[in-house]
Structure 1
Protein backbone atom coordinates (compact mmCIF):
# COMPACT_ATOMS: atom_id res chain seq x y z
CA UNK A 1 0.00 0.00 0.00
CA UNK A 2 1.26 3.48 -0.83
CA UNK A 3 2.61 5.21 2.25
CA UNK A 4 0.29 7.95 3.46
CA UNK A 5 1.53 11.50 3.60
CA UNK A 6 2.19 13.10 7.00
CA UNK A 7 -0.76 15.40 6.37
CA UNK A 8 -3.14 12.45 6.07
CA UNK A 9 -1.69 10.78 9.17
CA UNK A 10 -2.13 13.90 11.28
CA UNK A 11 -5.59 14.38 9.84
CA UNK A 12 -6.67 10.83 10.74
CA UNK A 13 -5.25 10.94 14.27
CA UNK A 14 -6.86 14.31 14.95
CA UNK A 15 -10.28 13.10 13.84
CA UNK A 16 -10.10 9.98 15.99
CA UNK A 17 -8.87 11.63 19.17
CA UNK A 18 -10.37 15.14 19.20
CA UNK A 19 -13.84 15.96 20.61
CA UNK A 20 -15.48 19.16 19.38
CA UNK A 21 -18.29 21.27 20.73
CA UNK A 22 -20.93 21.35 18.02
CA UNK A 23 -22.79 24.59 17.36
CA UNK A 24 -25.97 23.48 15.62
CA UNK A 25 -27.47 25.92 13.14
CA UNK A 26 -30.75 25.37 11.28
CA UNK A 27 -30.23 25.37 7.55
CA UNK A 28 -32.39 24.73 4.52
CA UNK A 29 -31.53 21.65 2.46
CA UNK A 30 -32.62 20.33 -0.93
CA UNK A 31 -35.14 17.53 -1.19
CA UNK A 32 -33.52 14.21 -0.32
CA UNK A 33 -30.92 15.79 1.98
CA UNK A 34 -30.99 15.93 5.78
CA UNK A 35 -30.10 18.87 7.96
CA UNK A 36 -27.26 17.65 10.18
CA UNK A 37 -25.89 20.50 12.26
CA UNK A 38 -24.97 23.26 9.82
CA UNK A 39 -24.64 20.91 6.85
CA UNK A 40 -26.83 19.07 4.36
CA UNK A 41 -26.18 15.35 3.87
CA UNK A 42 -27.84 12.50 2.02
CA UNK A 43 -27.07 8.92 3.10
CA UNK A 44 -27.13 6.06 0.59
CA UNK A 45 -27.11 2.65 2.29
CA UNK A 46 -27.09 0.58 -0.90
CA UNK A 47 -23.45 0.09 -1.81
CA UNK A 48 -22.09 1.68 -4.98
CA UNK A 49 -18.68 2.02 -6.59
CA UNK A 50 -16.65 5.20 -6.24
CA UNK A 51 -17.48 6.41 -9.75
CA UNK A 52 -21.18 5.67 -9.27
CA UNK A 53 -21.15 7.45 -5.90
CA UNK A 54 -19.72 10.59 -7.48
CA UNK A 55 -22.26 10.43 -10.32
CA UNK A 56 -25.22 9.93 -7.96
CA UNK A 57 -24.14 12.81 -5.73
CA UNK A 58 -23.75 15.09 -8.76
CA UNK A 59 -27.20 14.18 -10.13
CA UNK A 60 -28.70 14.84 -6.69
CA UNK A 61 -27.37 18.40 -6.88
CA UNK A 62 -24.39 18.00 -4.59
CA UNK A 63 -21.07 16.25 -4.37
CA UNK A 64 -19.34 13.83 -2.08
CA UNK A 65 -18.46 15.12 1.37
CA UNK A 66 -16.01 18.01 1.48
CA UNK A 67 -13.61 17.09 4.26
CA UNK A 68 -12.72 20.60 5.34
CA UNK A 69 -13.70 20.62 9.02
CA UNK A 70 -12.98 18.07 11.73
CA UNK A 71 -16.27 18.79 13.47
CA UNK A 72 -18.16 17.90 10.28
CA UNK A 73 -16.82 14.34 10.50
CA UNK A 74 -17.68 14.21 14.21
CA UNK A 75 -21.23 15.35 13.48
CA UNK A 76 -21.61 12.78 10.68
CA UNK A 77 -20.50 9.99 12.99
CA UNK A 78 -22.77 11.15 15.80
CA UNK A 79 -25.74 11.35 13.42
CA UNK A 80 -25.15 7.85 12.02
CA UNK A 81 -24.94 6.43 15.54
CA UNK A 82 -28.10 8.18 16.74
CA UNK A 83 -30.06 7.09 13.66
CA UNK A 84 -28.89 3.47 13.96
CA UNK A 85 -27.16 3.52 10.57
CA UNK A 86 -23.79 2.07 11.57
CA UNK A 87 -24.78 -1.60 11.38
CA UNK A 88 -26.40 -1.00 7.99
CA UNK A 89 -23.07 -0.01 6.42
CA UNK A 90 -22.57 -3.30 4.59
CA UNK A 91 -19.98 -4.01 1.89
CA UNK A 92 -21.66 -5.46 -1.20
CA UNK A 93 -20.55 -9.00 -2.14
CA UNK A 94 -18.72 -9.22 1.18
CA UNK A 95 -18.99 -13.02 1.44
CA UNK A 96 -17.63 -13.53 -2.09
CA UNK A 97 -14.69 -11.22 -1.39
CA UNK A 98 -13.88 -13.01 1.86
CA UNK A 99 -14.02 -16.35 0.05
CA UNK A 100 -11.73 -15.19 -2.76
CA UNK A 101 -9.20 -13.91 -0.22
CA UNK A 102 -9.28 -17.25 1.58
CA UNK A 103 -8.58 -18.97 -1.75
CA UNK A 104 -5.50 -16.76 -2.17
CA UNK A 105 -4.21 -17.88 1.23
CA UNK A 106 -4.89 -21.53 0.41
CA UNK A 107 -3.04 -21.18 -2.89
CA UNK A 108 -0.05 -19.61 -1.14
CA UNK A 109 0.03 -22.45 1.39
CA UNK A 110 -0.10 -25.08 -1.35
CA UNK A 111 2.68 -23.34 -3.27
CA UNK A 112 4.89 -23.19 -0.17
CA UNK A 113 4.36 -26.90 0.51
CA UNK A 114 5.10 -27.72 -3.13
CA UNK A 115 8.28 -25.67 -3.05
CA UNK A 116 9.51 -27.35 0.13
CA UNK A 117 8.86 -30.76 -1.40
CA UNK A 118 10.61 -29.78 -4.62
CA UNK A 119 13.74 -28.50 -2.89
CA UNK A 120 13.93 -31.62 -0.75
CA UNK A 121 13.43 -34.17 -3.52
CA UNK A 122 14.44 -32.52 -6.80
CA UNK A 123 17.72 -34.45 -6.96
CA UNK A 124 16.06 -37.74 -6.04
CA UNK A 125 13.13 -37.79 -8.45
CA UNK A 126 12.67 -37.06 -12.17
CA UNK A 127 11.28 -33.67 -13.21
CA UNK A 128 7.99 -35.15 -14.50
CA UNK A 129 7.03 -36.03 -10.93
CA UNK A 130 7.01 -32.34 -10.07
CA UNK A 131 5.63 -30.71 -13.21
CA UNK A 132 4.63 -31.32 -16.81
CA UNK A 133 7.89 -31.53 -18.78
CA UNK A 134 8.53 -29.87 -22.13
CA UNK A 135 7.82 -31.88 -25.26
CA UNK A 136 10.97 -33.51 -26.60
CA UNK A 137 12.62 -31.52 -29.35
CA UNK A 138 13.34 -33.11 -32.74
CA UNK A 139 16.96 -33.58 -33.75
CA UNK A 140 16.74 -30.92 -36.44
CA UNK A 141 14.55 -27.84 -36.03
CA UNK A 142 14.47 -24.11 -36.69
CA UNK A 143 15.98 -22.38 -33.67
CA UNK A 144 13.32 -19.68 -33.52
CA UNK A 145 10.66 -22.36 -33.31
CA UNK A 146 12.05 -23.90 -30.13
CA UNK A 147 9.52 -22.37 -27.72
CA UNK A 148 6.50 -23.64 -29.68
CA UNK A 149 8.07 -27.07 -30.14
CA UNK A 150 8.35 -27.51 -26.36
CA UNK A 151 4.54 -27.36 -25.99
CA UNK A 152 3.48 -30.60 -24.24
CA UNK A 153 0.78 -32.88 -25.62
CA UNK A 154 -2.70 -31.60 -24.78
CA UNK A 155 -1.74 -27.94 -25.09
CA UNK A 156 -1.37 -25.63 -28.08
CA UNK A 157 -0.31 -22.11 -29.10
CA UNK A 158 -2.93 -19.96 -30.83
CA UNK A 159 -4.02 -16.36 -31.28
CA UNK A 160 -5.24 -14.71 -28.07
CA UNK A 161 -8.52 -12.74 -28.08
CA UNK A 162 -6.97 -10.20 -25.71
CA UNK A 163 -6.21 -7.00 -27.68
CA UNK A 164 -2.51 -6.67 -28.61
CA UNK A 165 -1.62 -9.85 -26.72
CA UNK A 166 -0.46 -11.78 -29.79
CA UNK A 167 -0.36 -15.53 -29.34
CA UNK A 168 -1.43 -17.35 -26.20
CA UNK A 169 -1.05 -20.80 -24.63
CA UNK A 170 -4.20 -22.95 -24.58
CA UNK A 171 -5.34 -26.34 -23.33
CA UNK A 172 -7.15 -29.00 -25.37
CA UNK A 173 -8.20 -30.98 -22.31
CA UNK A 174 -9.47 -30.31 -18.80
CA UNK A 175 -6.61 -29.46 -16.42
CA UNK A 176 -6.93 -30.06 -12.71
CA UNK A 177 -6.43 -27.38 -10.06
CA UNK A 178 -2.87 -27.11 -8.71
CA UNK A 179 -1.34 -28.68 -11.82
CA UNK A 180 2.22 -27.39 -12.25
CA UNK A 181 2.52 -26.68 -15.97
CA UNK A 182 6.29 -26.45 -15.96
CA UNK A 183 9.37 -24.38 -15.35
CA UNK A 184 9.61 -21.02 -17.11
CA UNK A 185 12.71 -21.07 -19.30
CA UNK A 186 14.79 -18.22 -20.69
CA UNK A 187 18.18 -16.56 -20.73
CA UNK A 188 19.63 -15.72 -17.33
CA UNK A 189 21.41 -12.39 -16.96
CA UNK A 190 22.09 -9.67 -14.40
CA UNK A 191 21.06 -6.65 -16.46
CA UNK A 192 17.48 -5.48 -16.17
CA UNK A 193 15.72 -5.01 -19.48
CA UNK A 194 12.32 -3.79 -20.59
CA UNK A 195 11.15 -7.18 -21.81
CA UNK A 196 7.62 -8.22 -20.72
CA UNK A 197 8.94 -11.79 -20.90
CA UNK A 198 11.41 -11.24 -18.06
CA UNK A 199 11.03 -12.40 -14.45
CA UNK A 200 13.23 -11.01 -11.68
CA UNK A 201 14.68 -13.52 -9.22
CA UNK A 202 15.89 -12.20 -5.86
CA UNK A 203 18.72 -14.28 -4.47
CA UNK A 204 18.61 -12.99 -0.89
CA UNK A 205 15.99 -11.83 1.61
CA UNK A 206 17.15 -8.21 1.42
CA UNK A 207 16.60 -8.28 -2.35
CA UNK A 208 20.09 -6.89 -2.95
CA UNK A 209 21.22 -9.70 -5.25
CA UNK A 210 19.12 -10.62 -8.24
CA UNK A 211 19.13 -12.00 -11.74
CA UNK A 212 16.59 -12.16 -14.55
CA UNK A 213 15.05 -14.98 -16.55
CA UNK A 214 14.32 -13.48 -19.95
CA UNK A 215 12.17 -15.46 -22.39
CA UNK A 216 11.98 -12.75 -25.06
CA UNK A 217 13.83 -14.99 -27.53
CA UNK A 218 11.71 -17.94 -28.79
CA UNK A 219 14.98 -19.72 -29.54
CA UNK A 220 16.02 -19.68 -25.87
CA UNK A 221 12.75 -20.24 -24.02
CA UNK A 222 9.82 -22.65 -23.78
CA UNK A 223 6.06 -22.62 -24.40
CA UNK A 224 5.24 -20.88 -21.09
CA UNK A 225 6.44 -17.60 -22.63
CA UNK A 226 3.12 -17.51 -24.50
CA UNK A 227 1.01 -17.34 -21.34
CA UNK A 228 -0.43 -13.83 -21.31
CA UNK A 229 -1.33 -11.50 -18.45
CA UNK A 230 -4.75 -11.85 -16.82
CA UNK A 231 -6.87 -8.72 -16.49
CA UNK A 232 -8.96 -9.88 -13.53
CA UNK A 233 -9.37 -12.78 -11.11
CA UNK A 234 -11.98 -14.45 -13.31
CA UNK A 235 -9.53 -14.69 -16.20
CA UNK A 236 -6.58 -15.69 -14.06
CA UNK A 237 -6.16 -19.46 -13.99
CA UNK A 238 -2.39 -19.77 -13.56
CA UNK A 239 -0.24 -18.74 -10.60
CA UNK A 240 3.42 -17.83 -11.19
CA UNK A 241 5.82 -18.32 -8.31
CA UNK A 242 9.54 -18.53 -7.58
CA UNK A 243 11.01 -21.64 -5.97
CA UNK A 244 14.70 -22.48 -5.63
CA UNK A 245 15.56 -19.55 -7.97
CA UNK A 246 13.28 -20.97 -10.66
CA UNK A 247 9.87 -19.76 -11.88
CA UNK A 248 7.00 -22.24 -12.00
CA UNK A 249 3.49 -21.90 -13.44
CA UNK A 250 0.65 -23.66 -11.60
CA UNK A 251 -3.11 -23.69 -12.29
CA UNK A 252 -5.27 -21.96 -9.67
CA UNK A 253 -8.52 -23.64 -10.67
CA UNK A 254 -9.83 -26.40 -12.89
CA UNK A 255 -9.30 -25.23 -16.47
CA UNK A 256 -11.81 -26.31 -19.10
CA UNK A 257 -10.85 -27.47 -22.63
CA UNK A 258 -10.14 -24.76 -25.22
CA UNK A 259 -9.33 -22.21 -22.54
CA UNK A 260 -6.38 -19.83 -22.68
CA UNK A 261 -3.95 -19.93 -19.78
CA UNK A 262 -3.57 -16.50 -18.13
CA UNK A 263 -1.41 -15.44 -15.20
CA UNK A 264 -0.55 -12.26 -13.31
CA UNK A 265 2.69 -10.72 -14.58
CA UNK A 266 3.52 -8.77 -11.43
CA UNK A 267 3.05 -5.20 -10.22
CA UNK A 268 5.40 -3.42 -12.64
CA UNK A 269 4.09 -5.11 -15.77
CA UNK A 270 0.55 -4.71 -14.45
CA UNK A 271 1.02 -0.96 -14.15
CA UNK A 272 2.34 -0.83 -17.72
CA UNK A 273 -0.85 -2.58 -18.82
CA UNK A 274 -3.03 -0.35 -16.65
CA UNK A 275 -3.95 -3.20 -14.28
CA UNK A 276 -3.71 -3.19 -10.49
CA UNK A 277 -3.99 -6.44 -8.54
CA UNK A 278 -4.99 -5.61 -4.98
CA UNK A 279 -7.53 -7.46 -2.85
CA UNK A 280 -9.64 -5.28 -0.53
CA UNK A 281 -9.28 -7.84 2.29
CA UNK A 282 -5.51 -7.31 2.24
CA UNK A 283 -6.11 -3.76 3.54
CA UNK A 284 -9.63 -3.68 4.94
CA UNK A 285 -11.36 -5.79 7.58
CA UNK A 286 -14.35 -7.27 5.75
CA UNK A 287 -15.36 -9.50 8.66
CA UNK A 288 -16.25 -7.12 11.48
CA UNK A 289 -15.80 -3.52 10.34
CA UNK A 290 -18.45 -1.25 8.84
CA UNK A 291 -17.55 1.16 6.02
CA UNK A 292 -19.06 4.26 4.45
CA UNK A 293 -17.49 6.30 1.64
CA UNK A 294 -17.16 9.98 2.43
CA UNK A 295 -15.18 11.38 -0.46
CA UNK A 296 -12.29 10.75 -2.83
CA UNK A 297 -8.78 11.97 -3.45
CA UNK A 298 -7.16 12.22 -6.89
CA UNK A 299 -3.54 11.15 -7.22
CA UNK A 300 -0.83 13.54 -8.33
CA UNK A 301 1.26 11.33 -10.60
CA UNK A 302 4.23 13.72 -10.82
CA UNK A 303 4.75 14.05 -7.08
CA UNK A 304 3.15 10.73 -6.15
CA UNK A 305 1.37 12.32 -3.21
CA UNK A 306 -2.25 13.03 -2.39
CA UNK A 307 -4.24 16.18 -3.02
CA UNK A 308 -6.88 17.26 -0.55
CA UNK A 309 -9.84 19.48 -1.23
CA UNK A 310 -9.23 23.06 -0.15
CA UNK A 311 -12.57 24.50 -1.21
CA UNK A 312 -15.97 23.35 -2.35
CA UNK A 313 -15.22 23.40 -6.07
CA UNK A 314 -11.77 21.78 -6.04
CA UNK A 315 -13.07 18.20 -6.05
CA UNK A 316 -15.21 18.84 -9.13
CA UNK A 317 -12.15 20.30 -10.84
CA UNK A 318 -10.00 17.30 -9.89
CA UNK A 319 -12.41 14.87 -11.52
CA UNK A 320 -11.56 16.38 -14.90
CA UNK A 321 -7.84 16.67 -14.28
CA UNK A 322 -7.14 13.21 -12.81
CA UNK A 323 -8.03 9.85 -14.29
CA UNK A 324 -7.48 7.80 -11.14
CA UNK A 325 -9.47 8.44 -7.97
CA UNK A 326 -8.97 6.92 -4.53
CA UNK A 327 -11.89 6.78 -2.14
CA UNK A 328 -11.89 8.06 1.43
CA UNK A 329 -13.66 5.59 3.71
CA UNK A 330 -14.79 6.09 7.28
CA UNK A 331 -14.69 2.79 9.16
CA UNK A 332 -16.29 1.74 12.43
CA UNK A 333 -15.04 -1.17 14.53
CA UNK A 334 -15.67 -1.97 18.18
CA UNK A 335 -16.66 1.59 19.10
CA UNK A 336 -13.81 3.31 17.25
CA UNK A 337 -13.83 5.29 13.99
CA UNK A 338 -10.96 5.51 11.54
CA UNK A 339 -10.45 7.18 8.17
CA UNK A 340 -8.98 4.82 5.54
CA UNK A 341 -7.96 5.06 1.92
CA UNK A 342 -9.89 3.03 -0.66
CA UNK A 343 -7.60 1.76 -3.39
CA UNK A 344 -8.36 0.26 -6.79
CA UNK A 345 -9.73 -3.24 -6.16
CA UNK A 346 -11.34 -3.87 -9.56
CA UNK A 347 -9.11 -6.90 -10.26
CA UNK A 348 -11.20 -8.73 -7.64
CA UNK A 349 -14.46 -6.76 -7.66
CA UNK A 350 -14.92 -6.35 -11.41
CA UNK A 351 -15.46 -3.08 -13.24
CA UNK A 352 -18.36 -2.24 -10.91
CA UNK A 353 -15.73 -1.60 -8.26
CA UNK A 354 -15.74 -1.80 -4.47
CA UNK A 355 -19.35 -1.15 -3.48
CA UNK A 356 -20.08 0.43 -0.10
CA UNK A 357 -22.66 2.90 1.29
CA UNK A 358 -21.79 6.56 0.81
CA UNK A 359 -22.69 10.13 1.75
CA UNK A 360 -23.48 13.14 -0.43
CA UNK A 361 -23.32 16.77 0.64
CA UNK A 362 -24.53 20.07 -0.75
CA UNK A 363 -24.09 23.63 0.38
CA UNK A 364 -27.02 24.88 2.49
CA UNK A 365 -29.50 26.93 0.49
CA UNK A 366 -29.80 29.56 3.19
CA UNK A 367 -29.57 29.94 6.96
CA UNK A 368 -32.83 30.38 8.84
Structure 2
Protein backbone atom coordinates (compact mmCIF):
# COMPACT_ATOMS: atom_id res chain seq x y z
CA UNK A 1 0.00 0.00 0.00
CA UNK A 2 1.43 3.35 -1.02
CA UNK A 3 0.84 6.48 1.03
CA UNK A 4 1.19 8.54 -2.18
CA UNK A 5 -2.11 7.31 -3.68
CA UNK A 6 -5.62 8.73 -3.25
CA UNK A 7 -8.58 6.43 -2.76
CA UNK A 8 -11.57 6.81 -5.08
CA UNK A 9 -14.58 5.12 -3.51
CA UNK A 10 -16.55 5.32 -6.79
CA UNK A 11 -13.84 3.45 -8.75
CA UNK A 12 -12.93 1.22 -5.81
CA UNK A 13 -9.19 1.74 -6.24
CA UNK A 14 -6.21 3.86 -5.31
CA UNK A 15 -5.11 6.39 -7.90
CA UNK A 16 -2.09 8.58 -8.58
CA UNK A 17 -3.64 12.02 -7.94
CA UNK A 18 -7.27 13.01 -8.56
CA UNK A 19 -9.66 10.58 -10.27
CA UNK A 20 -9.96 11.41 -13.98
CA UNK A 21 -13.43 9.88 -14.18
CA UNK A 22 -15.02 11.30 -10.98
CA UNK A 23 -12.93 14.45 -10.46
CA UNK A 24 -11.02 15.85 -7.51
CA UNK A 25 -11.95 15.30 -3.88
CA UNK A 26 -13.52 18.18 -2.01
CA UNK A 27 -10.92 18.87 0.66
CA UNK A 28 -11.96 20.32 4.00
CA UNK A 29 -9.22 21.45 6.40
CA UNK A 30 -9.54 21.61 10.17
CA UNK A 31 -10.39 24.97 11.62
CA UNK A 32 -7.34 26.67 13.15
CA UNK A 33 -7.79 27.01 16.88
CA UNK A 34 -5.74 29.05 19.34
CA UNK A 35 -3.19 27.27 21.50
CA UNK A 36 -3.89 26.40 25.13
CA UNK A 37 -1.77 29.37 26.25
CA UNK A 38 -3.79 31.79 24.12
CA UNK A 39 -7.11 30.32 25.25
CA UNK A 40 -6.21 30.92 28.92
CA UNK A 41 -5.74 34.68 28.40
CA UNK A 42 -8.22 36.58 30.62
CA UNK A 43 -10.81 38.56 28.61
CA UNK A 44 -9.43 41.95 29.71
CA UNK A 45 -5.93 41.18 28.41
CA UNK A 46 -4.71 40.92 24.83
CA UNK A 47 -1.61 39.70 23.01
CA UNK A 48 0.32 42.01 20.69
CA UNK A 49 3.25 41.34 18.43
CA UNK A 50 6.39 43.00 19.79
CA UNK A 51 8.89 41.80 17.19
CA UNK A 52 9.59 39.17 14.56
CA UNK A 53 12.77 37.13 14.89
CA UNK A 54 14.55 34.78 12.54
CA UNK A 55 12.49 31.86 11.30
CA UNK A 56 9.19 33.74 11.64
CA UNK A 57 9.43 33.50 15.44
CA UNK A 58 7.00 35.97 17.00
CA UNK A 59 7.76 37.70 20.28
CA UNK A 60 4.44 38.58 21.91
CA UNK A 61 3.59 40.81 24.85
CA UNK A 62 0.52 40.96 27.09
CA UNK A 63 -1.41 44.25 27.24
CA UNK A 64 -4.31 45.46 29.38
CA UNK A 65 -7.61 46.16 27.60
CA UNK A 66 -9.15 47.75 30.71
CA UNK A 67 -7.82 49.22 33.97
CA UNK A 68 -6.33 46.67 36.36
CA UNK A 69 -6.03 47.47 40.07
CA UNK A 70 -2.83 47.33 42.06
CA UNK A 71 -2.51 44.06 44.05
CA UNK A 72 -4.29 41.96 41.40
CA UNK A 73 -2.80 38.47 41.37
CA UNK A 74 -2.46 36.29 38.26
CA UNK A 75 -1.49 32.65 38.19
CA UNK A 76 -0.17 30.23 38.77
CA UNK A 77 2.33 30.12 35.92
CA UNK A 78 1.85 26.84 34.06
CA UNK A 79 4.89 24.98 32.81
CA UNK A 80 7.02 21.89 33.19
CA UNK A 81 8.86 21.10 36.41
CA UNK A 82 12.34 19.61 36.19
CA UNK A 83 15.05 18.85 38.73
CA UNK A 84 17.65 19.65 36.08
CA UNK A 85 18.11 23.18 34.72
CA UNK A 86 19.70 21.89 31.52
CA UNK A 87 16.34 20.38 30.48
CA UNK A 88 14.93 23.91 30.50
CA UNK A 89 17.52 25.51 28.22
CA UNK A 90 15.44 26.37 25.20
CA UNK A 91 15.90 30.12 25.31
CA UNK A 92 12.81 30.64 27.44
CA UNK A 93 12.58 32.19 30.85
CA UNK A 94 12.97 29.76 33.73
CA UNK A 95 11.65 30.14 37.25
CA UNK A 96 12.60 28.07 40.28
CA UNK A 97 10.17 26.74 42.87
CA UNK A 98 10.42 24.86 46.14
CA UNK A 99 7.98 21.97 46.17
CA UNK A 100 7.91 19.07 48.63
CA UNK A 101 11.29 20.18 49.99
CA UNK A 102 12.98 20.02 46.56
CA UNK A 103 14.11 22.84 44.26
CA UNK A 104 12.59 22.56 40.78
CA UNK A 105 13.05 24.53 37.59
CA UNK A 106 9.82 25.68 35.95
CA UNK A 107 9.60 26.68 32.31
CA UNK A 108 6.88 27.03 29.69
CA UNK A 109 7.70 24.44 27.03
CA UNK A 110 5.37 25.76 24.33
CA UNK A 111 1.95 27.24 23.78
CA UNK A 112 0.14 23.89 23.91
CA UNK A 113 1.20 23.17 27.50
CA UNK A 114 1.82 26.57 29.10
CA UNK A 115 -0.61 29.34 29.95
CA UNK A 116 -0.82 32.99 28.88
CA UNK A 117 1.73 34.01 31.50
CA UNK A 118 4.49 32.65 29.25
CA UNK A 119 3.96 35.71 27.02
CA UNK A 120 4.64 38.25 29.81
CA UNK A 121 8.03 39.86 29.18
CA UNK A 122 10.55 40.84 31.86
CA UNK A 123 10.80 44.54 32.69
CA UNK A 124 13.96 46.36 31.66
CA UNK A 125 13.63 49.02 34.34
CA UNK A 126 11.55 49.99 37.36
CA UNK A 127 9.42 52.43 35.37
CA UNK A 128 8.04 49.76 33.01
CA UNK A 129 7.58 47.09 35.69
CA UNK A 130 3.88 46.42 36.30
CA UNK A 131 4.08 42.96 37.91
CA UNK A 132 6.17 41.21 40.52
CA UNK A 133 6.90 37.47 40.20
CA UNK A 134 6.80 35.57 43.48
CA UNK A 135 6.51 32.02 44.71
CA UNK A 136 3.58 30.85 46.80
CA UNK A 137 2.97 27.24 47.85
CA UNK A 138 5.35 25.86 45.23
CA UNK A 139 3.93 27.88 42.33
CA UNK A 140 4.79 31.17 40.63
CA UNK A 141 2.32 34.06 40.58
CA UNK A 142 2.44 37.57 39.12
CA UNK A 143 0.94 40.42 41.16
CA UNK A 144 0.43 43.98 39.94
CA UNK A 145 2.66 46.53 41.67
CA UNK A 146 0.64 49.55 40.52
CA UNK A 147 -2.64 50.40 38.80
CA UNK A 148 -2.39 49.50 35.13
CA UNK A 149 -4.03 51.62 32.45
CA UNK A 150 -5.54 50.22 29.23
CA UNK A 151 -3.01 49.63 26.41
CA UNK A 152 -0.17 49.20 28.93
CA UNK A 153 2.08 46.18 28.56
CA UNK A 154 2.32 43.86 31.56
CA UNK A 155 5.98 43.34 32.45
CA UNK A 156 7.38 41.57 35.50
CA UNK A 157 10.43 41.46 37.68
CA UNK A 158 11.21 39.18 40.61
CA UNK A 159 10.28 39.89 44.23
CA UNK A 160 13.38 40.55 46.37
CA UNK A 161 12.99 37.35 48.42
CA UNK A 162 12.35 35.33 45.28
CA UNK A 163 15.62 36.60 43.76
CA UNK A 164 17.45 35.47 46.91
CA UNK A 165 15.79 32.05 46.75
CA UNK A 166 16.85 31.62 43.13
CA UNK A 167 20.37 32.73 44.14
CA UNK A 168 20.49 35.33 41.40
CA UNK A 169 22.29 38.62 41.59
CA UNK A 170 20.62 41.25 39.44
CA UNK A 171 22.50 42.84 36.59
CA UNK A 172 22.40 46.61 36.88
CA UNK A 173 22.75 48.74 33.75
CA UNK A 174 22.39 52.48 33.34
CA UNK A 175 20.08 53.32 30.44
CA UNK A 176 18.77 56.82 29.92
CA UNK A 177 19.08 57.49 33.67
CA UNK A 178 16.89 54.47 34.52
CA UNK A 179 18.05 51.60 36.66
CA UNK A 180 17.75 48.55 34.42
CA UNK A 181 17.76 44.89 35.24
CA UNK A 182 17.86 41.97 32.90
CA UNK A 183 16.51 38.45 33.35
CA UNK A 184 19.00 36.02 34.88
CA UNK A 185 20.95 34.03 32.30
CA UNK A 186 20.23 30.30 32.31
CA UNK A 187 23.90 29.62 33.05
CA UNK A 188 23.39 31.34 36.42
CA UNK A 189 20.49 29.01 37.16
CA UNK A 190 22.66 25.92 36.74
CA UNK A 191 25.15 26.76 39.45
Query: Aligned match of 1:178 in 58, 64, 71?
Result: 71
Correspondence list, 1:335-354, <5 A: 346=174, 351-352=176-177
Correspondence list, 1:115-154, <5 A: 145-154=35-44
Query: Aligned match of 1:200 in 93, 96, 114?
Result: 96
State the 1:142 CA deviation: 6.7
> Which residue does 2:125 correspond to in 1?
232
Contact 2:49 2:59 survives alignment (8 Å): yes
3-state SS, counterpart of residue 147 of structure 1? helix
Correspondence list, 1:4-23, <5 A: none
Evaluate the alpha carbon distance shift between residue 189 and residue 143 of structure 1 in structure 2; reply closer, same or farther with a 3 A threshold: farther
Greater RCO (Cα-Cα under 8 Å, separation 6 or more):
1
Contact 1:178 1:251 survives alignment (8 Å): yes
Correspondence list, 1:199-278, <5 A: 199-203=95-99, 209-264=102-157, 276-277=171-172
> Which residue does 1:320 correspond to in 2?
none
Quick one: distance in 1 between partners of 2:140 and 2:150? 25
> Which structure has the larger Rg?
1
The structure with the greater share of residues assigned to strand is 2
Evaluate the alpha carbon distance shift between residue 161 and residue 232 of structure 1 in structure 2; reply closer, same or farther with a 3 A threshold: farther
Contact 1:144 1:219 survives alignment (8 Å): no
Quick one: distance in 1 between partners of 2:33 and 2:93? 18
String of CA shifts for 1:55-113, please: whole Å, max 9, x gaps.
xxxxxxxxxxxxxxxxxxxxxxxxxxxxxxxxxxxxxxxxxxxxxxxxxxxxxxxxxxx
Quick one: distance in 1 between partners of 2:32 and 2:104? 28
Q: May I ask how many residue pairs the two structures share in their alignment?
A: 138
Quick one: distance in 2 between partners of 1:249 and 1:231? 16
Contact 2:60 2:119 survives alignment (8 Å): yes
> Which residue does 1:130 correspond to in 2?
none
Quick one: distance in 1 between partners of 2:40 and 2:105? 21
State the 1:194 CA deviation: 1.7
Structure 2, gaps ≥5 residues long: 1-30, 180-191
Structure 1, gaps ≥5 residues long: 1-140, 278-343, 355-368
Correspondence list, 1:55-74, <5 A: none
3-state SS, counterpart of residue 225 of structure 1? helix
Contact 1:237 1:253 survives alignment (8 Å): yes
Structure 1 length normalisation: TM-score? 0.33
Output the aligned Cα RMSD: 3.4
